[in-house]
Amino acid sequence: MSDIVLFKLPAGFGLPSVSPYCLKVEAWMQIQGVAYTAQQGDLRKPRNKKMPYVLIDGEQVCDSHNILPRLAASTGKPMHQPQGEDKARAHAAMVIAQESVYWALVYARWTMDSGWVHLEPLVRGLLPAPLRALLIGVIRKATNKQVWQQGTGRLGPEFVWERAREDLDSLSHLLGDRAYFGGEQICDYDLGVWAPLASIHLGPPDGPLKDAVAGHANLVAWIERVDALRNPS
């Protein structure tokens, strides 16, 4: 049996990580019934300087899109692999969620004061006490610089929410009345969509982004369906 250690950003807002990408990997392992240990990660350690990363039998694997197939290979527990049109739909949904909706979430939590009031205490708690006051501003500024460089930070809130609404409408249409994005069984791509959408739906802040998810009954039912697989109770 492989020895698997997940390095992640901490739990928060009722989810195992405040980071959607960490949540994606941890949810995959929970659903697949993989034994692992989790530790708080240090962003200086992974080669790509991003969270999450994993050690599989001591070997560092970075980037959630790489991590899931590596976990599947080393545990012998792959998820269903959709083919053809099913795969294309699920892949397209993942790209919309990770490359676009994710940034609206980062904007809502880091850039907008209405989100930052919820996130700030959590980020503060991670910092060494003597440097907290100094570092908290530096970290927020660095993240907002990424949001600006990616493009979302240049748009202004109304346009960010409008684009997110379009993304979520598209995701709702792509899912339709299917159980999962790739068909009747959950696949890796679902987790890439689920993590940012569940973070929006289940965590703060309230507002246009959360309303845009809540406005699609099929997405809400699917978020809850995946959550139940992860966390059966």
Ligand X SMILES: N[C@@H](CCC(=O)N[C@@H](CS)C(=O)NCC(=O)O)C(=O)O
* Site size with ligand X, rule: CB under 6 A: 10
Tell me how far apart the alpha carbons of residues 148 and 50 are, in angstroms, rounded to a whole number: 18
Among 10, 30, 32, 50, binds ligand X (CB under 6 A): 50
54-83 positions binding ligand X, by CB under 6 A: 63-65
> For ligand X, which is the closer residue by CB, 19 or 172?
19
> For ligand X, which is the closer residue by CB, 147 or 223?
147
Tell me how far apart the alpha carbons of residues 190 and 185 are, in angstroms, rounded to a whole number: 10
Orientation angle between helical segments 64-75 and 20-32, nearest 10 degrees: 20
Q: Is the dihedral of CA 51, 56, 58, 63 positive or negative?
A: negative
Instruction: Supply the minimum distance, in Å, between the C-beta of residue 21 and ligand X.
Output: 4
Among 6, 31, 34, 51, binds ligand X (CB under 6 A): 51
Instruction: Supply the minimum distance, in Å, between the C-beta of residue 81 and ligand X.
Output: 19
Decide: is 153 part of the binding site for ligand X (CB under 6 A): no
Among 3, 35, 43, 83, binds ligand X (CB under 6 A): 43
Instruction: Supply the minimum distance, in Å, between the C-beta of residue 102 and ligand X.
Output: 8
> For ligand X, which is the closer residue by CB, 4 or 216?
4
> For ligand X, which is the closer residue by CB, 136 or 179?
136
Q: Residue 131 contacts by C-beta under 8 Å, 6 or more apart in sequence?
A: none
Helix (H) or strand (E) holding 59: strand 59-62
Long-range contacts of 82-89 (CB under 8 A, 24+ apart): 82/182, 82/183, 82/187, 82/189, 86/182, 86/183, 87/182, 87/189, 89/174, 89/181, 89/182
Tell me how far apart the alpha carbons of residues 38 and 5 are, in angstroms, rounded to a whole number: 6
Binding mask 207-226 for ligand X (x = CB under 6 A): --------------------
For 51, counting Cβ atoms within 10 Å of its Cβ (0-12 exposed, 13-18 middle, 19+ buried), the class is buried
DSSP bridge partners of 167:
none
Instruction: Supply the minimum distance, in Å, between the C-beta of residue 64 and ligand X.
Output: 3
2-41 positions binding ligand X, by CB under 6 A: 9, 19-21
What residues line the site for ligand X (CB under 6 A)? 9, 19-21, 43, 50-51, 63-65
